[in-house]
Each structure stands twice: as structure tokens, then as C-alpha cells.
Amino acid sequence: MINPTLEFDQASFAYNGTPVLTGITGTVFPGEALALIGPNGAGKTTLLRGILGEVRLVSGVMRRAPGRMGYVPQSADLDLTFPVTVRQVVGMGLIGVRTNQKRARIDAALARVDLLDKAPLRFGGLSGGQRQRVLLARALVCEPKLILLDEPFNGLDEPNRVALLQTIQEAKDDGVAVVASTHDLRLAKETCEKAALLAGKQIAFDRLDEALDQSNMQLAYGGGWRV
């Protein structure tokens, strides 16, 4: 029997003691991707930060399988003026990892996103799509069991979008579980087997087509929603 990489049972999360996301119940297995869907303020980033341990779990249960975790933040959270190279950014994913093959692992991660030739360049000088691919390489370099992505496709052109999708699929094929917050239903359908539909609480957590049916979407977004 395959154990889930991530499991929730009536999990609720709070900021400063105030619950902001409640009733999360569901599982993500190795090689599966979960899309976090919902309007602004629905709790998508809160759930990611809860998984990271940055937002307090105040009730219910969250279980994560042993193993490392990679995280790709929103591009708006980055300081592009900081003088750091692409290689150094990816190397940050190995902080706390004991290995005598650091350079080889960084090179392998960059090759995986087809950006090895950019290794010596300044990170802030890359295009937005290339930066996202570098951040995915940083998440992959520690050989994680789980990758979290916060709005990873915002503002990407089609070539970078396709490249990012391909790398995510390859990670899934290797048994990595993926959780991605997104407003992009096309991305969800192309990448994810499951969806958690949120609106300050769980509306649905199921196979993608069932979670995002019209009745659930109307509950999350309002009565005018049409699939």
C-alpha cells in the first residue's frame, strides 16, 4: 500500500489566533499534483504556508511523509536587485543538505530546467519565466518528496510555461508530489489530478473535475460563475 505524501483531516490554520482557513480534508500521493483554487483571499497561500510550518495548525491533523520539501514562491516576493548568480540561487536549495557533490547536483538541477548555460549569470537579469525555472531548479536540487508552488505561472510567456510544465511533469513521473496555488484553470487541468477549492474553508477536495464542478465553483466564487 502506498502511503500519502500529504494528508489532512479537518485541518484548520490561524494567524494570531484567528482561524483563516478551516476544514481541510484530503490526501496527495506520490506522483500526484494538487491545484489550490479559489478567489483572492481564499486561503491558497495560507495552506502552502501551513504545509511549510509558517502558519499555525490550530485544529485537526496534517501529516507529511518524511523527506525534503521544495518551495517556489511568488515572483513578487523576490528581491531582483540582490547580487546573486543563478548557480548561487539554486545552491540555496542545498542549505542543510550534506553532500560532497554540491556543484554536480546544482548543474543537474539547472540542466533539468534547461538553463545550465545561465549558471554564471546574475539571477535578477533573467526574464521572469527563466527566473521561475531557476526557482524550480532550486526546489528540485534537494531531491524533495514534495514541491510547493505559489502562483508559478503568473506572467509567463508560452515557451517558459511549456518548459515549466514539462519539468513539473517529469518530477511527478519520479514520484514527487506537487501542490500548486493558481488562478489558472488551464494549468490545473494540464498538470493536476486533484483540486482543493477554497473560500476561507474547504469547498471541495477531490478529483479535479468533481472538485471544480459548477455547483462548487458557484459556492466559491458566487452565483454568477459558469464553468
Which of the following CATH numbers is that of domain 1-67+146-151+181-226: 3.40.50.300, 1.10.600.10, 3.40.50.720, 1.10.760.10? 3.40.50.300
Confidence label for 153 from pLDDT (cuts 50, 70 and 90): confident
- Across the range 26-34, mean pLDDT stands at 98
Tell me the pLDDT tens digit for each residue of 58-110: 999 999 999 999 999 887 567 778 889 999 999 999 887 777 788 899 999 99
User: What is the per-residue pLDDT for 143?
Assistant: 93
Q: Does position 136 have pLDDT exceeding 90, yes or no?
A: yes
Instruction: Report the distance separating Cα 154 and Cα 181, nearest Å.
Output: 11
Predicted local confidence at residue 76, as pLDDT: 58
Per the confidence metrics, is the pTM higher than 0.85?
yes
